Structures are given as structure tokens and as C-alpha cells.
């Protein structure tokens, strides 16, 4: 399963129909200027089987931020994955994380891969998830 997702604010903020100023920042004259504009975060999640077949390899590439690792581990724990090992790298502002994971001692099945990808995409898209709970 390979998913590349460009997460962005709902299409309402980018609707340049009539009555809109069509400003570059995606706001219009009808938008509340005090409302925070959600940042675009590009996230790539890839899940493959390990060469020895004992586990699955979960690779996440996204914008680094404080608390990112805590958020990833929290999501993996919430879906009952066991992290066998992992490697966490940050290159500039990009985080490249690789985890060897199992579910009940086995590699992830296709439905479980879909659940993991969807869960991570949802929570990583919040981008501010760990601001109050980060270590």
C-alpha cells in the first residue's frame, strides 16, 4: 500500500466563486480574517513486507515538528501495533521514519495496512495534535 496525500484545508477556503476576492492566501472577503488558515502538509506513507516475512515495514515521510514521533507512536499504539524496531531521521525540515511493525505477531494484512495508513493520515493532518501534550 503506497499513499501520497497532500493534506489541505477544505475546498471552501479555496472557492474563488462570485463574491470572492480570490486572494492568493486562499481567503475571500467573506472569510473571517481571525480564523486560522490550515497549512498544507505533504505526507507519504508506505507499508511493505520485510524481506524475511516476519513483519511489515512502515515508512513515513512528512514535515518535522515538535511531538511528531509521540503522535506517530500514539496512533500505532491505538491500533494495537507492536513496534519491533525503528529508525527516525530528520533531514532539514523533513522527517523520515521507518518502523518494523507487527499486529498480533504477524505482518500487517491488507485491511490492517489500510487502517494504519488512514489513521496516520488523519492524525498527522491535524499538524497540531501534540502541541499541548508533547514531551
Contact 127, 64 (CB under 8 A): no
Residue 4 banded pLDDT, cuts 50, 70, 90:
very low
Decide if 67 contacts 135 (C-beta within 8 A). Answer: yes
What is the rounded (10 degree) CA torsion for 41, 117, 10, 64?
-20
> Which cell numbers in the block locate residue 119?
489513521
Is residue 35 scored above 80 in pLDDT? no
Count the Cβ atoms, other than its own, within 10 Å of residue 130: 19
Q: Which residues contact 108 (CB under 8 A, 6 or more apart)?
A: 47, 56, 81, 101, 102, 116
| Of the candidate ranges 27-36, 66-75, 94-103, the one whose mean pLDDT is the lowest | 27-36
Q: How confident is the model at residue 76 (pLDDT cuts 50, 70, 90)?
A: very high
User: How high is the pLDDT of residue 42?
Assistant: 81
- More reliable by pLDDT, 124 or 115: 115
- CA-CA distance, 54 to 21, in Å (whole number)? 56
Tell which wins on pLDDT, 96 or 19: 96
pLDDT band at residue 127 under the 50/70/90 scheme: low
pLDDT at 94: 94
Per-residue pLDDT, averaged over 68-84, amounts to: 94
Amino acid at each position: 500500500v503506497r499513499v501520497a496525500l497532500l493534506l489541505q484545508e477544505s475546498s471552501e477556503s479555496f472557492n474563488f466563486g462570485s463574491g470572492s476576492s480570490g486572494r492568493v492566501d486562499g481567503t475571500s472577503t467573506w472569510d473571517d480574517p481571525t480564523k486560522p488558515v490550515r497549512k498544507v502538509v505533504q505526507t507519504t506513507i508506505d507499508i511493505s513486507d520485510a524481506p524475511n516475512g516476519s513483519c511489515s515495514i512502515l515508512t513515513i515521510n512528512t514535515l518535522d515538528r515538535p511531538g511528531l514521533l509521540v503522535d506517530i507512536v500514539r496512533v500505532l499504539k491505538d491500533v494495537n501495533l507492536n513496534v519491533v524496531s525503528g529508525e527516525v531521521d530528520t533531514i532539514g525540515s523533513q522527517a523520515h521514519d521507518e518502523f518494523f511493525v507487527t499486529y498480533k505477531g504477524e505482518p500487517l494484512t491488507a485491511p490492517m495496512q489500510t487502517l494504519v495508513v488512514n489513521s496516520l493520515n488523519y492524525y498527522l493532518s491535524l499538524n497540531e495534535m501534540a502541541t499541548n501534550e508533547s514531551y
